[in-house]
Amino acid sequence: MKTLKVAAIQANLKWEDPEANRLYFDERINSLKHKVDLIVLPEMFSTGFSMHPQGIADQGETLNWMLAKAAEQRCALAGSLMVFENEQYYNRFYFVTPEGDVTTYNKRHRFTLAGEHKVYERGDKPVVISYKGWQILAQVCYDLRFPVFARNTTNYDVVIYVANWPKKRIFAWDTLLKARAIENMCYSIGVNRVGLDGNKYEYNGYSGIYDSLGATLAFAEAEEKIIYAELSKAHLTETREHLNFLADQDIFELK
């Protein structure tokens, strides 16, 4: 596809209540004003960023909802969930297609300040998803602070960051999303939440979609909002052929 139409849903998540969040996003997705190819939801969109997954981590219920919603809307759906699998918990990014294909990425960089490393197992490698001729790198929240992990050595087209990024550090979020787009010559999509969570941390959104030069295509401030953007392969081709920054990057391996 020459273009990829994206909707990002910035939401006030219901704390540790998967059923309520599924109902909420069901209504929000049904309210979309435009036909899109991809819908992106925040990090841990069914619970909020909780360190108490016992009894509420997904064992298939929300994944099945994602699959049903993707099939119904005839578009892909992406976001992260707390997942219980093989007696372990993961903060897992899911990308599901209307055909029923599922790609997963387990969050690599766990947020030690919140004790995430004590609860959730670590992912071992980056994951690039192929969808409708587009190559999409999956990332989760704290991954944004580690540019080497998102380094574009595979010629991917889009990087997606789903997050629960608090208001007190929102300027880092906003700046780094643009930086990842510029340094990797790709589209950057960041989807955050708004509102207060169960720990009384405040979130003010700033979800955004940026092109490969860091220009803003869509942006949401501190409100529940759906933003839209149309990504263009021609834009990527033109900027990469003209500037060719990726060919000049240093070569090294991530251990």
- The span from the CA of 31 to the CA of 237, in Å, is 33
Q: In one letter, which amino acid is 104?
A: T
Q: Within 10 A of 239 (CB to CB), how many other CB atoms are there?
A: 16
| Nearest to 15, CA basis, from 57, 47, 54 | 47
Helix H, strand E, coil C: the string for the chain is CCEEEEEEEECECCCCCHHHHHHHHHHHHHCCCCCCCEEECCCCCCCCCCCCCCCCCECCHHHHHHHHHHHHHCCEEEEEEEEEECCEEEEEEEEECCCCCEEEEECCCCCHHHCHHHHCECCCCCEEEEECCEEEEEEEHHHHHCHHHHCCCCCCCEEEEECCCCHHHHHHHHHHHHHHHHHHCCEEEEECCEEECCCCCEEECCCEEECCCCCEEEECCCCCEEEEEEEEHHHHHHHHHHHCHHHHCCCCCCC
Two tokens, residue 75: 């578009």
What amino acid positions are annotated as catalytic residues? 43, 107, 141
